[in-house]
Chain A
Amino acid sequence: MVLVSAVRDYVYRMLQDISGMKVLILDSQTVSIVSVVYSQSELLQKEVFLVELIDSISKSKESMSHLKAVYFLRPTSENIQYMRRQLSNPRFGEYHLFFSNMLKDTQIHLLADSDEQEVVQQVQEFYADFIAVDPYHFTLNMPSNHYYILPAVVDPSNLQHFCDRAVDGIGAVFLALKRRPIIRYSRASDIAKRIAHETALMYQQESGLFDFRRMEMSPLLLIVDRRDDPVTPLLNQWTYQAMVHELIGIQDNKVDLRSIGKFPKDQQEVVLSSEQDAFFKANMYENFGDIGMNIKRMVDDFQQVAKSNQNIQTIEDMAKFVDNYPEYRKMHGNVSKHVTLVTEMSKIVEERKLMLVSETEQDLACNGGQVAAFEAVTNLLNNESVSDIDRLRLVMLYALRYEKESPVQLMQLFNKLASRSAKYKPGLVQFLLKQAGADKRIGDLYGNRDFLNIARNMARGLKGVENVYTQHQPLLFQTMESIIKGRLRDVDYPYVGNHFQQGRPQEVVIFIVGGTTYEESRSVAQLNASNSGIRFILGGTAVLNSKRFLKDLEEAQGIARSNANVV
């Protein structure tokens, strides 16, 4: 509940002390921030009768001085420009300005200058600068996420924007939690190091703001790079939330079904939020088979209720029906939503033969055996019904694992891939290897570097797995376990500055530059539920699925290529 309740508190405090009819004005980023935690009906309870985006509100000239305006914006120069224009021609009675991060002095000067009519009543900084998709999972939803892949020389200004946004988001999380962390980062990643140092610089510069009561153990901020674990975003998922994101796509806890078929109006876009949907909260981390059973049970319950509703004979029955009607309607909506989602996903699984593909994927990610793997991948490449993107993923997973072992066979796979799929070029796989190959990664992705991990793998192989499709554990899980045991190596994850931490922290925020996945947020939630004494929070610059990850790689490759051409 931590992140969600923090943002909710901020929004509540914004609206609580202002009486009368209000209009809430947001920008394109804060709209996502507020929408995932507050619903329209709750806003109406707080007498907010109009919600607008700041760029569309500048177009209208209607004067509504009976409304009080509450602005919640990110402190970007664009927004300041909009504000200046609106303050010089005020449309509303009162103006209350809230910014989601720290304002620079010059920005306050500019705003004060344009407020000739003195309509601004307060200017505050409320640090809700991140999208709290789940209680322990936040994202920054960065549109151009691919800059983390490129070296700094290629596009320094965009990279600076990227780092600034990341630092702002991380700062906001700790301000919302009212803690000041010790920072560690992944040694092998330049951008992680850069973000870590810039965060430390921010703390130094604004030390007055961060002067919280020091608890015994400062929390830990760990900044890692997506390229340390490129396998997790490439895998196909079989637990509910992760699967919906992988096959259909979840954006700000909303699922847009229009891209995969025709649906009636009220099922075109649905909301999947663990805060508002009790069934989803209970099933979001369950695997596909169990979900099917649970949905069937829910449908049966619903059918019973529906039948009893049809059997209305006395006035008492009618009264009871009218009493229960809102509940009934809500249940009906919920049931159809989940049934639709699961049906569509089953269809996609059938079409793309995902059960077959995923078995090989999980083998590539978890078990050894290069020869068997090569055969399996070749067979699937030859299979006509496997789609292009799945072929690409298989070759990538094979390449990530066996890039050193037999280059000849790897070449063969590349050629096969090139001949079969016109759209995707093998160059992408090489690009991936260059960025996230075995030399670039720290951490033991396949469990074959550390003796202990090898032993563990062998034991697991002997024991057998419960479910072939969910046997993969993301690298993040190992990292979190080492933190719990207090054994996170300084060599791999150095500290920023001369801090040193004895013992284990009680709160850890892990920030993955390049994006998180729902599989990782599932690990975090499960570890948090197991009462290990440490509370983990996960965040990233975006929430990835395989499509998004591949798109980022492609865009980065394109820029790198054009840069090479120019040079």
Chain B
Amino acid sequence: MATRNRSLLFRKYRDAWKSVRIPASSSASSAATKSSGGGPVIEMVSASLPHPNRSYTPLSTEDPGNSSKGAVTVGLPPAWVDVSEEIAANVQRARTKMAELAKAHAKALMPSFGDGKEDQRIIESLTHEITNLLRKSEKRLQKLSASGPSEDSNVRKNVQRQLATDLQNLSMELRKKQSTYLKRLRQQTEGQDGVDLEMNINGNRSYAENDDLDDMIFSEHQMAKLKQNEALTVEREREIQQVVESVNELAQIMKDLSVLVIDQGTIVDRIDYNIQNVATTVEEGLKQLQKAERTQKQGGMVMCATVLVIMCFVMLVLLILKEIIF
């Protein structure tokens, strides 16, 4: 597709205009009186300082070779941007941890000679960390909501929406990973336990039948096996329980987040609908504010407070008079 860049031409014209303007502003001539009506000194001052209405300290990144006026670029952002950046950083950290978790899952599922306890611990800790990160981010996300129908609040709402979408996607991914891990874990456990149980049953039967002869040896062997299996089962139980718990937690987070996330393809996802809505809510908000102001002014509270303050003063004066007189 074709585009055309007019920036060069624009800059050329802008520089031409600048050179026309600079000699005009440095001379104390009619140019100053024409534009501001004030003295030439005022004109020069206002020309060289940055725009006075700026509420943030401007950071100048232009090289000093340029003219002294208006060297304002991106200023310091408001405080809530820090919160949003923190959440974005958390999301990023959670993503890297998820990659690690995937690796740890794969490793744990591979048959190994060792205990597998180390792997389990790593998996547990990773899962906990990720869940904590997500929960913390979600709490901080609530802080982003602003009140009042200003443009700033719209920006905050939109930032909130985008971060909510990211968090929700992460939670879903985590839950999918966990559920697949869980499934494969169960398959493995059943396989092992099944075999063991079979042996157990046989062992029991033989134990019941052969009362006397190999009693002692069998039972010891068997008790050991039984204990081991029990321990294994208990531990698998515990793991499964934990994974299920975290699944539930994440489900909760997802439910909370789904309120904030936009449904794609619906009318709420249309730009023009949102613009219209903003316009009407801003108007509504203005009306509400005006109404509130009116009721406030007429309000009995204000009257009472004023009366009380006056009374205080009166009493104070009386007290002083009393002291003076007596």
A residues in contact (CB < 8 Å) with B = 6, 9-10, 13, 20-21, 23, 31-32, 34-35, 38-41, 43-45, 47-53, 56, 60-68, 89-90, 93-94, 102-103, 105, 108-109, 111-113, 115-127, 175-178, 209, 212, 252, 254, 266, 269-271, 273, 276-277, 315, 318-319, 322-323, 325-326, 329-330, 333-334
Residue of A9, A50, A266, A326 near B151 (CB, 8 A) is A50
> Does any Cβ of A come within 8 Å of B189's Cβ?
no
B155 touching A23 by the CB < 8 A rule? yes
- Chain A residue with the shortest CB-CB distance to B17: A113
**For the complex of A and B, 6 pairs with smallest distance between CB atoms:** A66-B77, A117-B70, A65-B75, A112-B13, A93-B74, A44-B162
Give complex CA distance A440, B206 in Å. 106
Within 8 A of A (CB), among B240-283: 244, 247-248, 251, 254-255, 258, 262-275, 278-279
Question: Given the complex, which residues of B lie within 8 Å of A49, measured CB to CB?
Answer: 154-155, 158-159, 162
What chain B residues lie within 8 Å of A93 (beta carbons)?
72-75
Chain B 72-90 near chain A by CB (<8 Å), digits 1 or 0: 1111111001000000000
Q: Mark B137-176, 1 if CB is under 8 A from A, else 0.
A: 0000000000000111011001101100100000010011
CB contacts (< 8 Å) of B11 on chain A: these are 112
Please measure, in the bound complex, the distance between the C-alpha atom of A6 and the C-alpha atom of B267, giving whole angstroms. 23
Q: Which residue of B lies closest to A206 (CB)?
A: B4
A-B contacts, 8 listed (Cβ < 8 Å): A10-B3, A23-B155, A50-B154, A117-B72, A119-B70, A269-B273, A270-B266, A322-B254
Min CB distance B278 to A, Å, is 8
User: Using Cβ atoms and an 8 Å threshold, which residues of chain B touch A67?
Assistant: 155
A63-B271 contact in complex given A111-B10, A330-B263, C-beta closer than 8 Å: no
- Say yes or no: A39-B155 contact (C-beta < 8 A), given A56-B279, A271-B266: no
Cβ-defined contact, A271 with B270, below 8 A: yes
Take A118-B70, A176-B2, A209-B4 as given contacts and tell me if A66 and B75 are in contact as well, using a CB distance cutoff of 8 Å: yes
Closest to A43 in B: B271
Q: List B residues 1-46 near A (Cβ within 8 Å).
A: 1-7, 9-11, 13-14, 16-17, 21
User: Closest CB of chain B to A424's CB: distance in Å?
Assistant: 33
Contacts of A66 in B (CB 8 A): 56, 74-78, 81
Query: From residue B245, how far is it (CB to closest CB) to chain A in Å?
Result: 10
Is B54 at the interface (CB under 8 A from chain A)? Answer: yes
Q: Write out the residue numbers on chain A whose beta carbons fall within 8 Å of the beta carbon of B51.
A: 89-90, 117
**Is the beta-carbon distance between A116 and B275 smaller than 8 angstroms?**
no
CB-CB nearest in chain B for A59? B282
Q: Which of A39, A117, A318 contacts B270 (CB 8 A)?
A: A39
Distance between Cα atoms of A124 and B10 in the complex (Å) = 10
- CB of A35 within 8 A of CB of B70, answer no
> Quick one: which of A40, A48, A93, A269 has the most chain B CB within 10 A?
A40
Q: Which of under 10, 10 to 19, 20 to 34, or 35 or more describes the interface residues of B?
A: 35 or more
Which residue of chain A is the closest to B168 with respect to CB atoms?
A326
| A254 and B270 contact, CB distance less than 8 A | yes
Q: Which of A9, A40, A61, A65 contacts B274 (CB 8 A)?
A: A40
Chain B proximity of A483: nearest CB distance (Å): 25
Q: Would you call A319 and B17 a contact (CB within 8 A)?
A: no
Quick one: closest A residue to B150, CB to CB? A62
- Bound Cα distance A122, B11 (Å): 9
Q: How close is A171's CB to chain B, nearest CB, in angstroms? A: 10
* A-B contact sample (7 more), CB < 8 A, given A21-B77, A64-B152, A65-B54: A40-B268, A40-B270, A116-B70, A175-B1, A319-B251, A326-B258, A329-B263
B298 at the binding interface (Cβ < 8 Å): no
**Which B residues are in CB contact (< 8 Å) with A103?**
6
